[in-house]
Chains A and B, each alone.
Chain A
């Protein structure tokens, strides 16, 4: 669906390239996470893919067609959820969706249904300028879905949201995946990526350091062991190798004789893997 080969981009009046010869392919129906710290080149790559930046080198094809060959009809096929709110502040949420809907020729989804999806139906007649950042982000998010596009680009879709609304947005993204949409998710929220993406790419200083599925990465970089936390007069914790765990006498003894509080498998988190692979922390 999306194929990028040797893609590079340097901002005018900047000596160093923001994106340095990156390569990746995203098949149709995949949710692909693009992870990296601020300034890593995530948003630049996304801006190239949504045709907001020109003057790149390398190849980028979307739906089998070179990005440069697409005209404005490209935007009938993609939906973009920006990192920062961008609405007409003097218009209400409903009026905003109606305004933007005037730019499409295809049939669109009911704006009230979209607002209800993200819990904004009660605020449909409130001006966007009076919205909190979280409400604006939710309005951003549903605007991307208005024309039912095949490919969705989301830049930090849960940024500024409380846990309830972040959950709501993630559930919608999971549902979009089930519907077969291709999703390009830019984020530095590793937990979001882990939950929502089939594969993730780590990008640092404009270079992709690694691409794989979160599950494969967690197993590859984790410890094959479990940690048991238990009460035996006092709080204690012990690690046991996964291999032969069922026959491990010490492990079985703790299970039988102690009050077990928690058992955790010790696969690595994406945060730990990111730091290990790139030598940099997210932030």
Chain B
């Protein structure tokens, strides 16, 4: 446990020592929180039409928060790949898989805390506490997916920024599901966050949302497994 705390403490030092990382980890989420907690109520006063979309705005802002956390962890991995620190870790008894899981776990935990705050403290969503926790957990799973996608498809931090932009756009696509009436919208389900949206929408409407939750977990698991294998193959082969 002490060793885990030491790793976490040193990882946070690394985040604090690079401007872009602490910006993405602290400042960018703070902006999203401010947008939901401060600006959205003001906008609603001037443009009442927005009220109908406040739940969607909450979902998208929460998504931005968790994806920026995923981006921070990806940047750390890209740095460590450049510095060959990952190669050194491969010759340690912990093994590189455990290290990767640890790193993804850090990102997932931070994303969970931020997402839970966003979903519960904003007062926009009407969720049972258990549903809020499950919803935050599903959101948190987006962080490791963003991390793995960035760290797999980018060769360095500059490419990482471009890949992050693409990932952000892809993650926004499931929002279109709210505007598509036919069953065709479920095609968007290949993007796991679509099921997170559906679960939270069902929960907000008073349903248990069990099928959506199950599909969300399955979609995240499948995409995670695929990306993890791809990452290992690209980085360590």
The answer to whether A56 has its CB under 8 Å from any CB of chain B is no
The answer to whether A260 has its CB under 8 Å from any CB of chain B is no
User: Is there contact, CB below 8 Å, between B87 and A82?
Assistant: yes
Scan A62-87; emit 1 where CB is below 8 A from any B CB, else 0: 00000000001111101010101111
Q: Which residue of A lies closest to B84 (CB)?
A: A86
Instruction: List A residues 121-173 near B (Cβ within 8 Å).
Output: 127, 143
Scan B97-125; emit 1 where CB is below 8 A from any A CB, else 0: 00100000000000000000000000000
User: Is there contact, CB below 8 Å, between A76 and B93?
Assistant: yes
With A73-B93, A102-B3 in contact, is A91–B10 under 8 Å at CB?
A: yes
The answer to whether B89 has its CB under 8 Å from any CB of chain A is yes
CB-defined contacts of A143 to chain B, threshold 8 Å: 88
- Give bound CA distance, A74 to B6, whole Å: 24
User: Is there contact, CB below 8 Å, between A52 and B3?
Assistant: no
Q: Report the minimal beta-carbon distance from B8 to chain A, rounded to whole angstroms.
A: 10
Segment at the interface with B among A20-28, A93-101, A201-209, A214-222: A93-101
User: Is there contact, CB below 8 Å, between A52 and B90?
Assistant: yes
With A12-B237, A84-B84 in contact, is A104–B92 under 8 Å at CB?
A: yes
With A12-B237, A88-B14, A91-B14 in contact, is A99–B7 under 8 Å at CB?
A: yes
- Give bound CA distance, A212 to B7, whole Å: 45
User: Is there contact, CB below 8 Å, between B237 and A75?
Assistant: no
- Give bound CA distance, A32 to B18, whole Å: 42
Q: Report the minimal beta-carbon distance from A118 to chain B, rounded to whole angstroms.
A: 17
User: Is there contact, CB below 8 Å, between B94 and A103?
Assistant: yes
User: Is there contact, CB below 8 Å, between A87 and B93?
Assistant: no
Q: Which residue of B lies closest to A106 (CB)?
A: B93
Q: Interface extent on B, as a size class?
A: 20 to 34
The answer to whether B85 has its CB under 8 Å from any CB of chain A is yes
CB-defined contacts of A74 to chain B, threshold 8 Å: 93
- Give bound CA distance, A216 to B88, whole Å: 36
Q: Which residue of A lies closest to B15 (CB)?
A: A90
Q: Report the minimal beta-carbon distance from A192 to chain B, rounded to whole angstroms.
A: 22
Instruction: List B residues 131-190 near A (Cβ within 8 Å).
Output: none
User: Is there contact, CB below 8 Å, between B14 and A90?
Assistant: yes
CB-defined contacts of A104 to chain B, threshold 8 Å: 92-93
- Give bound CA distance, A76 to B89, whole Å: 13
- Give bound CA distance, A102 to B80, whole Å: 17
The answer to whether A89 has its CB under 8 Å from any CB of chain B is yes
Q: Report the minimal beta-carbon distance from B122 to chain A, rounded to whole angstroms.
A: 34
- Give bound CA distance, A104 to B3, whole Å: 9
The answer to whether A105 has its CB under 8 Å from any CB of chain B is yes
With A52-B91, A73-B93 in contact, is A91–B13 under 8 Å at CB?
A: yes
User: Is there contact, CB below 8 Å, between B84 and A98?
Assistant: no
- Give bound CA distance, A80 to B91, whole Å: 7
User: Is there contact, CB below 8 Å, between B85 and A88?
Assistant: yes
A-B contact pairs, 24 of them (CB 8 A): A51-B91, A52-B87, A72-B95, A73-B93, A75-B93, A78-B91, A80-B88, A86-B88, A87-B88, A88-B85, A89-B79, A89-B83, A90-B79, A91-B13, A91-B14, A99-B10, A102-B4, A103-B92, A103-B93, A103-B94, A104-B93, A105-B93, A127-B17, A143-B88
4 closest residue pairs by CB, A with B? A86-B84, A103-B92, A103-B94, A102-B3
- Given A87-B85, A98-B10, 12 new contacts (CB under 8 A): A75-B92, A76-B93, A85-B84, A86-B84, A86-B87, A88-B80, A90-B13, A98-B6, A100-B88, A100-B89, A102-B3, A104-B92
